């Protein structure tokens, strides 16, 4: 199986759809997984399945096959090796049912054994094939609504499933995202609205334990409560296309990663303009809360951590920053007076969603910062703040990280009833000069050439720059596959300095603030043990063997300091022959716990 996958389903009431069009829709979801892809469709009432290993993005599907209904899938593997056999769609053992699945079936081995006793055969290593055969068995032995209810009852785990069987399209949801879009001629299902945003007139969202059935012969669509096994009504709202991300072309850039790095200055002004009013509301909630938790994962966590130092320094407020995967163990502190700010680019991060559900059970107020309108996290929140950075196609977070930082730093000023519009415009202009400066980028590229064969890189910083070091190390690990590790400067002497020898490169983030003298002292410590010191600072120091000059901007310094590290990660990936947009073993939307 493959949890962080992209799935699509299409059912045509009038006419047919080109299979090529379905594949083009699937390409918009490649960020969700790119190990393999496949499509299944009904052509002249015959079920046809095509599957391939590899990325779908550059596939030129030249056949002009038309279909009454189709399903498609792009995979990020969790169960089963990456090969054509384990790619989706999966079919029942008799070839009559095809299914695409996003999720993890936890009890698939016991279900498989039960089905084997009933004569079913299995040909893959995946839990999704078990789902296909279980659904096949139930639909063959029970009427549709009962069959879907029994599937929901029998299966443990998470799933968003779209299946084709005997002229019907079935959808089942629990714990994984799935949307439905409609127009006068067709029904669409997808993991993300960007797959069909330009095709539908109305859109709705499946909640946990909901499903749907499209009957192609009767031209009907019904919605179900899978837990109760009854029909329900679902509100489909007119689609507001301006609120949804659309798929953005490269526009001449070699990769989305560098495109999105260079878009950051423009997005800074847009993020601020869109959200100033909502941040005033959040600032009031922060000031009135008895306990504030920022909950996030990955880059979003690093942005939250950076802001926590600045909340302390400028607003004299303590905010708790918790990795979403660990939030369960902090739940004892949560009350109805607690404010939880959940941060996620996709709004589908499984750990963040589980943390929010835990906090909601304790009565906490939930506010989310998301980039994807209508996402699960947005719908779980009391209200949301949208990042407005547009589609972020590259797996690694760049412009969304900058947006989160800016929103959180702006929030600090709002809690103090202060304005800093001028600072935002200033940092946007300075960042623009950085990413458009060919000499600056060439110096980073040359550094990447020197570092490309390194097995280890270390980054140190103090205070807010420790959070920046964590984010820089994450970027380097994600797309260049070099082991990069971040340390708080003061923590080096408590063991980590044993790693330093005369073949070590240490990147030092040295802002002109209260941490400058102490981080320079740490740089001298590693240099005395043989390390080459690479300094990122607005102030040169003799300890730097390599100096990367950045402008000084005070409270917004973290937005500036991360840029050379983003660029370094990108150029390291190029020098090492890695795809910066689609790093191995990763997917953009992490919907698995």
Catalytic (active-site) positions: 5, 588
CA distances from 322 to 18, 294, 304, 330, 567 (A): 47, 6, 9, 8, 28
Candidates 556, 350, 555, 568; CA nearest to 475 is: 568
Is 490 buried (19+), middle (13-18) or exposed (0-12) by CB count in 10 A?
middle
**Angle (nearest 5°) at CA 124 between 119 and 128:** 85
Q: For every residue of 12-77, which 3-state class applies, written as one string?
A: ECCCCEEHHHHHHHHHCCHHHCCCEEEEEEEECCEEEEEEEECCCCCCCCCCCCEECEEEEEEECC
Candidates 94, 102, 163; CA nearest to 122 is: 94
What is the strand order of the sheet 168-174 is part of?
A: 90-91, 97-105, 157-165, 168-174, 210-215, 220-225, 230-232
Is residue 26 within 8 A of residue 195, CB to CB? The reply is yes
Q: Give CA–CA dist 203/213, Å, rounded.
A: 16
Residues facing 12 on adjacent strands: 186
Q: Give CA–CA dist 85/93, Å, rounded.
A: 13
Alpha-helical regions (H) of 437-534: 438-451, 464-480, 516-528
Q: For every residue of 365-398, which 3-state class applies, written as one string?
A: EEEEEECCCCCHHHHHCCEEEECCCCCCCCCCCC
Is residue 89 within 8 A of residue 39, CB to CB? The reply is yes
Is residue 370 within 8 A of residue 346, CB to CB? The reply is yes
**Looking up tokens 């302390």, which residue turns up?**
312
Residues facing 487 on adjacent strands: 460
Q: Give CA–CA dist 193/206, Å, rounded.
A: 12
Q: How far is CA 346 from the centre of its chain?
A: 5
Specify the DSSP element, H or E, that contains 455: none
What is the token pair recorded at 45? 């009432």
Q: Give CA–CA dist 512/523, Å, rounded.
A: 15
Which of left, alpha, beta for 229 (phi over 0: left; psi -120 to 50: alpha)?
A: left
Q: Give CA–CA dist 522/472, Å, rounded.
A: 18
> Phi/psi at 285 (nearest 5 deg)?
-65, -40
Q: Give CA–CA dist 125/85, Å, rounded.
A: 9
């Amino acid at each position: 199986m493959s949890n962080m996958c992209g799935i699509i389903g299409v059912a045509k009431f009038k006419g047919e759809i080109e299979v090529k069009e379905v594949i083009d829709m699937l390409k918009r979801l490649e960020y969700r997984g790119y190990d393999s892809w496949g499509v299944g469709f009904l052509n002249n009432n015959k079920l046809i399945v095509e599957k391939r290993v590899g990325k779908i993005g550059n596939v030129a599907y030249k056949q002009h096959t038309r279909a009454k209904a189709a399903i498609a899938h792009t995979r990020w593997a969790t169960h089963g090796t990456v090969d054509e056999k384990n790619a989706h769609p999966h079919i029942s053992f008799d070839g009559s049912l095809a299914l695409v699945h996003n999720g993890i079936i936890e009890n698939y081995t016991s279900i498989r054994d039960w089905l084997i006793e009933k004569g079913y055969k299995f040909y893959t290593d995946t839990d999704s094939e078990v789902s296909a055969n279980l659904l096949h068995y139930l639909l063959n032995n029970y009427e549709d609504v009962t069959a879907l209810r029994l599937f929901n009852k029998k299966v443990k785990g998470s799933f968003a499933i779209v299946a084709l069987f005997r002229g019907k399209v079935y959808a089942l949801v629990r714990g994984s995202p799935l949307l439905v879009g409609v127009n006068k001629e067709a029904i669409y299902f997808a993991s993300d609205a960007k797959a069909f945003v330009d095709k539908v007139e109305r859109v709705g969202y499946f909640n946990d334990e909901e499903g749907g059935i499209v009957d192609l012969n009767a031209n009907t669509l019904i919605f179900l409560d899978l837990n109760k096994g009854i029909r329900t009504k679902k509100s489909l709202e007119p689609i507001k296309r301006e609120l949804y991300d659309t798929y953005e072309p490269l526009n001449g850039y070699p990769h989305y990663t560098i495109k999105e790095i260079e878009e950051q200055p423009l997005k800074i002004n847009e993020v601020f303009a869109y959200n100033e009013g909502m941040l005033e509301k959040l600032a009031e909630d922060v000031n009135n809360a008895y306990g504030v938790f920022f909950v996030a994962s990955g880059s979003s966590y690093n942005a939250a951590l950076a802001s926590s130092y600045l909340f302390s320094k400028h607003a004299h407020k303590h905010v708790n920053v918790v990795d979403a995967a660990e939030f369960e163990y902090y739940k004892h502190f949560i009350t109805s007076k607690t404010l939880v700010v959940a941060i996620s680019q996709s709004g589908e991060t499984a750990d963040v969603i589980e943390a929010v559900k835990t906090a909601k059970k304790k009565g906490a107020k939930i506010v989310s910062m998301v980039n994807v309108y209508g996402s699960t996290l947005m719908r779980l929140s009391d209200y949301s703040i949208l990042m407005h950075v547009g589609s972020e196609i590259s797996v690694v977070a760049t412009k969304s990280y900058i947006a989160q930082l800016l929103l959180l730093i702006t929030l600090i000023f709002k809690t103090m009833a202060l304005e800093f519009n001028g600072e935002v415009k200033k940092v946007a202009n300075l960042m623009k000069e950085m990413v458009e400066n060919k000499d600056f980028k060439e110096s980073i590229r040359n550094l990447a050439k020197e570092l490309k064969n390194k097995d280890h890189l270390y980054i140190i910083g103090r205070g807010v720059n420790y959070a920046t070091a964590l984010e820089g190390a994450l970027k380097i690990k994600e797309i260049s596959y070099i082991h990069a590790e971040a340390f708080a400067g003061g923590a080096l002497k408590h063991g980590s300095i044993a790693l330093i020898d005369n073949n070590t490169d240490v990147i030092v983030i040295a802002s002109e603030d209260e941490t400058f003298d102490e981080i320079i002292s740490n740089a001298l410590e590693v240099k005395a043990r043989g390390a080459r010191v690479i300094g990122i600072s607005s102030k040169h120091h003799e300890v730097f063997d390599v100096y990367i000059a950045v402008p000084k901007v005070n409270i917004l310094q973290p937005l500036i300091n991360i840029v050379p590290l983003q660029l370094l990660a990108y150029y390291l990936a190029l020098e090492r022959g890695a795809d910066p947009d689609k790093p191995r073993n990763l997917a953009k939307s992490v919907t698995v716990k």
